[in-house]
A and B are shown apart, each in its own frame.
Chain A
Amino acid sequence: MVARKKHYRPPGKKKEGNAARYVTRSQALKQLQVTLGFFRRLSILKGIFPREPKKKFKGNNHTYYHLKDVAFLQHEPLLEKFREKRSYEKKIKKAEAKKNTALATLLRTREPTYKLDRLVRERYPKFVDVLRDLDDCLTMVHLFAALPAVERAKIDVELIHRCRRLSHEWQAYVSRTYKLRKVFVSVKGLYYQAEIEGQKITWLTPHAVQQVLPDDVNYSVMLTFLEFYETLLGFVNFRLYHSINVKYPPILDPQLEALASDLYALSRYIASNSKTSTLEPKAASSSTSEQVEDREKEMQANESELRLAQLQHQLPSNEPGALMHLMEDAEGENEDDQDTKDCKRLFKNMKFFLGREVPRESLLFVIPAFGGVVSWDGEAAPYKEGDQSITHQIVDRPTQGHKYLSREYVQPQWIYDCINARIILPTEAYMVGRIPPPHLSPFVDNEAEGYVPDYAETIKRLQAAARNEVLPMPGVGKEDLDDPQNLLVEGYISRAEANEAAETKQKMAALEKQYHEELQIELQGAVMKKSKQGSAEDAKASEESVPDPKQIAEDIDRMAKVGMSRKKKGLFEAIEKRKERNTARVNKLKERKKKLESSEN
């Protein structure tokens, strides 16, 4: 079936080596007897990718597929399904051309369908494999959840709704199980990183504004990917929901759904479901019996089936207190690792309220994921702005007119920075109308990068101070703790300062030590050089003086390089180049900073 070879090979002798193991793409098409579009679709769904043979027997500008991969495609039942589908489409077309609309509609209702379940299982035999590869899937689904439906690109409304649904389900799981670790607001969107079963999963969601669809993009390719990703994420969600004892295709409150607060609805659903499964159903029903009655009345009013279903699932009451109870209940289960516990505790006992202008979906996802309680300005919110127990209000406007004295008004960046630093940062810098301090990426290892921004250092200091606070304080008794807060705060600050001082002292000592060592080395070096000179004649020209130690080092370097093989030299140079690039980048940053500082002064 493989295309006949062109050059002569003695009869009975088989192809050998790369030529026998690999085929080019066009050869693969011939073998599979499919069009390029089919092939693409199939290889995307099957996860087949080109491979790099050691020797490219047809030249560099070909893509090579392994023969086994092609055979793998050939035995795929989906291939037959696609062919069937295409011939069926021809039938419809024919019926339409003959104006036989009855037949056409009849045929339309019975179009052959296919499922990708088997493919998911085949590509990812273990659940951990999926989690490892989930990044692209999540990014894509979240992107499409934010896109507008466009007829011309064949992006229909249902697809977008499905994507939205899937993404919310995922977020609800992550939020509920406190698996979120890092959040980063970039120009490109919001990056989230969760850790599930030891796998770090990072995904990007676009900002909640109208997205633009460029023309120079092949949407059919993206939709093929999305088709697979949708199935994949559905199964992943199923498995994850199953792991926390929640029935998977969640049934949501239609009222909340209509108000586009799916996420909240979902989280409530999960909470209620897991609760009923862990607690006795009787207790749950008694706690919410009043609510149930209310609901019954409502239900009679609009007679929706969904509501009935909800009733069966014992949705919690609308009041925030119920949610709080649930949180406490969840805390009972002590199976989480340390990290999860930390995350759970971050916003504990804090109550947030979101203004209209802040990115609601993101914050609704993020704050509960770190143990906070949140409400928003709008219908179906768990509590209103006037609630006295609110501790923080998230606003993003130049000025805030009416202010409650009992709460703090902060910009949304505060939340994200707190999460990344894992401590509650002081809110002064994030007040309404101020330009917040720089938002730093949690994905960067500052030390390895070689440049630490100022704010990163500030955060580090605060973290150290916070850690100290957690430690038992010997001097402070219980009475002191009861004292007015400012005393505590003072103590806290002074402690932080002391800590800082100690740190700087240590640093200084280290520096001093290093300096001494260097001095010694230098001295030794000088002595050595002198002895060398002494052995040589005194007539040595004075103009040459002491040879530069740098020069010597360089010479040694160069001489070492002379002996290297070409391959090693290439590698060495590449490493050097990279180092150089890094240092250049860091130097540039430092230079810019210096310039900025000088311009400020």
Chain B
Amino acid sequence: MRLPLYSLGLTPSLPCKVPASVSRERKEIFRERGRRDNGGRKKESFEVEKKKKTSKKIQATRKEKLNTEESLLHLKQEDTATDYKEFSENYKSAGESEAGNSESSGDEGIHNTGSNEGLANEAQSEDSEPDQGAEESDSSEDEVTPRNTVGDVPLEWYKDEKHIGYDFAGKKIKRKERQDKLDSFLANVDDSKNWRKIYDEYNDEEVELTKEETKVIRRMLKGKAPHAEFDPYAPYVDWFKWEDAKHPLSNAPEPKSRFIPSKSEAKKVLRLVRAIRKGLIKFDKPKEEPRFYMLWGDDASSSEKTGHLSYIPAPKPNLPGHEESYNPSLEYIPTQEEINSYQLMYEEDRPKFIPKRFTSLRSVPAYENAVKDSFERCLDLYLCPRVRKKRINIDPESLKPKLPSRKDLRPYPATCYLEYKGHKGAVMSISTEASGQWIASGSSDGTVRLWEVETCRCIRVWEFSEAVQYVAWNPLPELPILAVSVGQDVFLLNTGLGNEEIQRKVKELLHVETPTAPDDSGSKGWSWLQDGEHEGIRLRHFKSVYSVEWHRKGDYFSTVMPADILFFHCHLIVAILIHQLSKKFTQRHPFKLHGLPVSAVFHPTRSIFFVSTKKNVRVYDLLKQKLIKKLETGLREVSSIAIHPAGDNVIVGSREGKLCWFDMDLSSKPYKVLNCHPKDITNVAFHRSYPLFASCSDDCTAYVFHGTVYSDLNQNPLIVPLEILRGHAGSNGRGVLDCKFHPRQPWLFTAGADSLIKLYCH
């Protein structure tokens, strides 16, 4: 609890009182200097001595007084009307806290003295005259010596004793009767000066503080120097005489390092020198050039051509439309259902930007994809290949080919003129008689009907048990024979037309002797039989016959059986048969077909035979018995074929709705492919005399084309679409099943799946 007095600054009479910290600083300065100029100046001892003395001096009583005083002051400030008990408690605790503080400051003092020990010892011998007075005054003459002589012992030891210690004479000092609490309280109330009174435990007496003392305490509480006169920031007066001192401060010889140049400094310097020599460090700062200058001063000089490739400027980003506005018209904003329906779309179809509407500019938020859009633009700029493309701004009408006027190409069938009614089922096939007076039609209801063309009258009906596949008139006008394919049979029917002579001839022709060896015919796969019911020949095949075609001379005819895979692999690869009517003789088509046969046609003038398989058309010379040509259609599935009457041009219809025109002299590839029908082409036909051809399809339409073939070989055929014929209704997904031209007039017969036959005229 004892503290060096100076640390509390309770020596008002001192003329030059220095706070501990200040003095310490000063000492350090001394030490520094002493080291620097080893000139034996050791006069600073006075200071040290003073320190020592003051630290030794213990002003216990005063100290105690102070403590109590301080705590009391605290109390007074807080509240004066407290009872005694509380008062004493506070008193104790305040004392304790104060003790803590003082301890720390005491430590400082001790430390100071310790550090200066050596110097002090050295200085002992020296006289410190000029400061002596000041030193003396530091021990404060007005100090009252303590009554108690127990020294620095804990007062607890005397707690239970009657005395509190001993006086100088060695007599016990009796403990005074303590004022009881009530009295002290009353005294407190009565005497207004009572707050200045402080109980000194050590000496067991009450001390009254003077006004000056309380002032000092107040200043200290504020953290100021205790004395008002003291100026902590007074200019430093160096009263030490540095020059002309007789004795050095230190006796130690000067270290060698003071005389020789520093190695580490030399290293540093060397490093710098090297760096400067190398040019790493430059002293003159580079002149700052203006960052921007006139880059495009004169455009004339820059017009020289650069050696490299042409620069393709990137296309500019699209400019925003109305829908990107922050406040677009209401019609630009999609409804909620529409926005929901966007979710069902493919991601690339989905609109990238959904218009939104904000009623005021202040409510528009930041666009969340701003950075991303910019980034994507960057990627486009440096990653996308750039190509200079010509933007074609053409009228779509100009793309259409210039066609010769249709009026110049008349006559051609354009309008429906007659309808032939009577069939119950779809009309599968029709055929015109060579004279053009009659047509025959076969239907899926199992009937073959014979019509008069101009009157639409049904002359005759043959009934069969199965659906009729195909009907074909004999091309000779003097042989009015009709070939009808029904299931596995081909019937050759006598139509009963013409005069008697013709009838006789026909009957003769249609007579077959009874088969001599039925087993033989079975092995061959076909047999000629007499059909009594229909007065004709029944030519039995091993498989259902798809089509029958006559040779131009009317003696031969070919039948095609659509062989399927099963038969294809057997030895009986006889999908195409050629029959001779006059000899009742049948022979196989002698060549191997690469593919499934679809139809077979005779050349209109020469003995050439066309067989179309699903992909190709093969052309055989029947006399030389060899393959002449293979026409590559490039189609997926050929359905029909027709030969131009001159024989050099072939049209092929396919199931994908394409029509190929082959010029046999030109190439084996199609000269022209007309993509006219959206559905299967069922049949194609050439007119025998007019430059017309037609195609009919399951989409219930028939196209009529103009197709001129020039005799000049250098000129390509002219193909012009003329008319689309409508009128048939579809049934079961089938439309027009067959079309045939009238042999003399530019008329077209069409057979529909709606059981009607129509005649289109010009």
Contact = CB atoms under 8 A, between A and B. Distances in A.
Interface of A: 40, 43-44, 47, 49-52, 63-64, 66, 68-69, 72, 102, 106, 110, 117, 120-127, 130, 132-133, 135-136, 139-140, 143, 147, 184-189, 191, 202, 206-207, 209-214, 216-218, 221-222, 225, 234-235, 237-239, 242, 248-249, 357-359, 396-397, 411-413, 435-436, 438-441, 443-444, 449, 453-455, 532-533, 536-537, 539-541, 544, 555, 558-564, 568, 571-572, 575-576, 589-590, 592-593, 596
A139 B275 CA distance: 46
Contact of B320 (A184, A221, A234): A184
A234 B385 contact: no
Nearest to A44: B382
B292 A357 contact: no
Pick the 7 closest A-B CB pairs, nearest first: A443-B319, A559-B721, A593-B331, A438-B329, A560-B400, A127-B296, A50-B385
Contacts of B153: none
B269 interface: no
A64 B294 contact: no
A544 B727 contact: yes
Given A49-B382, A536-B414, 12 more contacts: A52-B386, A102-B271, A121-B296, A140-B374, A186-B326, A225-B382, A238-B293, A438-B328, A439-B325, A443-B319, A564-B399, A564-B401
B32 interface: no
Interface in B289-339: 290-296, 299, 302-303, 306, 308-309, 311-314, 316-317, 319-322, 324-332, 335
A215 to B, nearest CB: 10
B362 A396 contact: yes
B361 A202 contact: no
Given A189-B367, A536-B415, A135 B316 contact: yes
Contacts of A544: 416, 727
B345 to A, nearest CB: 15
Contact of B370 (A47, A189, A225, A568): A189
A188 B320 contact: yes
Contact of B366 (A206, A225, A560): A206
A185 B326 contact: yes
B370 A188 contact: yes
Contacts of B416: 540-541, 544
Contact of B383 (A63, A441, A564, A590): A63
Contacts of A444: 319, 321-322
A189 B761 CA distance: 68
17 contacts: A47-B311, A68-B309, A122-B306, A126-B299, A126-B303, A127-B296, A143-B371, A187-B367, A212-B366, A221-B375, A222-B371, A536-B414, A537-B417, A540-B416, A555-B723, A563-B401, A593-B330
Most chain A beta-carbon neighbours within 10 Å: one of B326, B355, B369: B326
A225 B674 contact: no
B255 interface: no
B321 A443 contact: yes
B317 A135 contact: yes
Contacts of B382: 40, 43-44, 49, 221, 225
A191 B152 CA distance: 90
Contact of B311 (A44, A123, A438, A564): A123
Contacts of A147: 371
B673 to A, nearest CB: 9
B182 interface: no
A66 B317 CA distance: 25
B472 to A, nearest CB: 29
A7 to B, nearest CB: 25
B401 A440 contact: no
B325 A438 contact: yes
Contacts of B296: 121, 124, 126-127, 130, 235, 239
A47 B303 CA distance: 19
Nearest to A242: B294
Contacts of B675: 562
A572 B392 CA distance: 12
Most buried by A among B291, B295, B722: B295
A217 B372 contact: yes
Contact of A69 (B290, B308, B373, B761): B308
What is the size category of the interface that chain B forms with chain A?
A: 35 or more
Given A217-B372, A221-B378, A411-B360, A440 B721 contact: no
Given A52-B385, A66-B309, A563-B403, A202 B316 contact: yes
Interface in B368-422: 368-375, 377-379, 381-387, 392, 394, 396, 399-401, 403, 414-419
Contact of A561 (B362, B377, B400): B400
A596 B331 contact: yes
A26 B399 CA distance: 43
Interface of B: 271, 275, 280-281, 290-296, 299, 302-303, 306, 308-309, 311-314, 316-317, 319-322, 324-332, 335, 355-356, 358-362, 364-375, 377-379, 381-387, 392, 394, 396, 399-401, 403, 414-419, 674-676, 703, 719-724, 727, 761
A189 to B, nearest CB: 6
Contacts of B392: 571
Given A188-B373, A536-B761, A238 B295 contact: yes
Given A68-B308, A214-B372, A443-B321, A539 B418 contact: yes
A272 B35 CA distance: 67
A234 B295 CA distance: 10
A537 B413 CA distance: 13
Given A209-B365, A571-B399, A596 B372 contact: no
Nearest to B318: A443
Contact of B295 (A120, A533, A559): A120
B403 A560 contact: yes
Nearest to B363: A396
A438 B322 CA distance: 9
Contacts of B676: 558, 562
A202 B375 contact: no
Nearest to B368: A212
Contacts of A133: 313-314
A359 B361 contact: yes
Contacts of A126: 296, 299, 302-303
B410 to A, nearest CB: 10
Contacts of A249: 290-292
Contacts of A225: 378, 381-382
A222 B378 CA distance: 7
B724 A234 contact: no
Contacts of A440: 322, 325, 328-329
